[in-house]
Amino acid sequence: MAGIYVHIPFCKRRCLYCDFFSTTMLGRQKEYIEALLKEIAARRNETGEPIRTIYLGGGTPSTLESADISRLLQAIVTADATEVTMEMNAGDADTAYLQAIRQAGVNRLSIGIQSFQDELLRQIGRRHTAAQAAEAVHMAQEAGFDNISIDLIYALPSQRTEQWQADIETALDLGIQHISCYGLMYEEGTALTKMLETGQITAIDEDTENAMYDYLCERLKAAGFVHYEVSNFALPGYEAQHNSSYWNGTPYIGIGAGAHSYTRKDGEAVRSWNPDDLDAYIQGINNGTLVRGNERLTERDLFNEQVMLGLRTSHGCTLPPSVSRRATVGYYKELDLLSEPEEGHIIATQKGLHVLNRIIEDLMEG
């Protein structure tokens, strides 16, 4: 089984913290859709395996007309897909639109909310209010969506612990099935990072950020959510299938500007990617000269990915025996940052999740 990811790199406005590839040139959507349809037709069978999951991500897929969503999903033509996710900005929710995309085949929504505090939403440049965010979820439920995920961000500048705790309660009150939560990252070159560098905002301290994360994990666990990946929580049975395939090595085809693919052919694992440039992508597709970057993954690459992705999940990862790696695992076990339920199989502890990147780096092969 495989997945298809379709990148929709359009946003009505850029959020101040975002470094994803997207543009506000909505006038170019039509020509982009035509290019996507061509790429889908050429590549939809590339993995040689049935497509089980489809993910429309961005950018903001909900800036597209519902008729275009329908055309894209029809072009993928698969009866095997069990999960069809679409990302939506909370500011785009509208009953008729939601009904239309559901009709088109979307059966899972991922709604970008980030915060239920208006002052924080303004600070990070989101274009919706807290009330619109809650209303978006209600409208989606009324339209028949019964698999809804929302994204929240913690460790926002000047965010108070009580505000974060209130956000979690608001999320739980909405009756959603999945929550993705990310600690704010100050990515190089973003407007928010410039504000930090010039002293207009202050980052919250690491202890407070860790306490926010621990509270999140405990509260969602108490509410019946499974903490199945470092940033992802789901009611049992609602774990994101598409994202899980990134973590467990399932092949996927990435369609659109900047999209990445992972395929296995003749025993070789290959990662490839489209240019993250709208003109280069559209022209390349239209005149058949698209240059897709690619790399063959070595045994070492695959091992490192297994460590990096596996340790982010609640399943952990299995390590082949090695004296030096045993010493590293032993060191982190002593510090209660790793557990080893079976010899060679390691899982990050709650404390370990705070320093996960460091642990992963130490276990990867250089």
Q: Binding residues for ligand SF4, per CB under 6 A?
A: 11, 14-15, 18, 20, 22, 58-60, 89, 112
CA angle 182, 188, 189 (to 5 degrees): 120
Alpha helix segments (H runs only) across the chain: 29-43, 66-76, 95-104, 118-123, 130-142, 161-173, 191-197, 206-222, 241-248, 278-286, 299-310, 323-334, 350-354, 356-363
Task: Give 77 or 185: the residue with its C-beta nearer to ligand SF4.
Answer: 185
Which residue matches tokens 């202050």? 202
Q: Cβ 277 to ligand SF4, closest distance in Å?
A: 16
Task: Give 52 or 126: the residue with its C-beta nearer to ligand SF4.
Answer: 126
Q: Cβ 347 to ligand SF4, closest distance in Å?
A: 31
Give long-range contacts, CB 8 A cutoff, 24+ apart: 356-360: 356/230, 356/311, 356/312, 359/311, 359/332, 360/307, 360/308, 360/311
Q: Cβ 137 to ligand SF4, closest distance in Å?
A: 17
Q: Cβ 87 to ligand SF4, closest distance in Å?
A: 8
| CA of residue 233 relative to chain centroid, distance | 12
Is residue 223 helix, strand or coil? coil
Amino acid at 321: P
Task: Give 3 or 61: the residue with its C-beta nearer to ligand SF4.
Answer: 61
Task: Give 20 or 97: the residue with its C-beta nearer to ligand SF4.
Answer: 20
- Size of the chain, expressed as the number of residues it contains: 366
Provide Rg for the chain, Cα atoms: 21
Task: Give 112 or 316: the residue with its C-beta nearer to ligand SF4.
Answer: 112
Task: Give 85 or 263: the residue with its C-beta nearer to ligand SF4.
Answer: 85
Is residue 65 helix, strand or coil? coil
Q: Cβ 17 to ligand SF4, closest distance in Å?
A: 7
DSSP-assigned letters across all residues of 166-221: HHHHHHHHTT-SEEEEEE----TT-HHHHHHHTTSS-PPPHHHHHHHHHHHHHHHH
Say how far apart CA 152 and CA 211 lie, in whole Å.
Answer: 16
Q: Cβ 257 to ligand SF4, closest distance in Å?
A: 13
**Beta-strand relationship, 83-89 and 108-114:** parallel
The sign of the dihedral angle between the CA atoms of 120, 125, 129, 132 is: negative
Q: Cβ 323 to ligand SF4, closest distance in Å?
A: 45
Task: Give 47 or 190: the residue with its C-beta nearer to ligand SF4.
Answer: 190
**Beta-strand relationship, 293-296 and 252-255:** unpaired
Q: Cβ 14 to ligand SF4, closest distance in Å?
A: 4
Residue 260 gets the label, from left (phi > 0), alpha (psi -120 to 50) or beta, of beta
Are residues 215 and 154 in contact, defined by beta-carbon separation less than 8 angstroms?
no
Task: Give 124 or 307: the residue with its C-beta nearer to ligand SF4.
Answer: 124
Task: Give 2 or 109: the residue with its C-beta nearer to ligand SF4.
Answer: 109
Q: Cβ 249 to ligand SF4, closest distance in Å?
A: 26
Give the Cβ contact number of residue 363 at 10 Å.
20
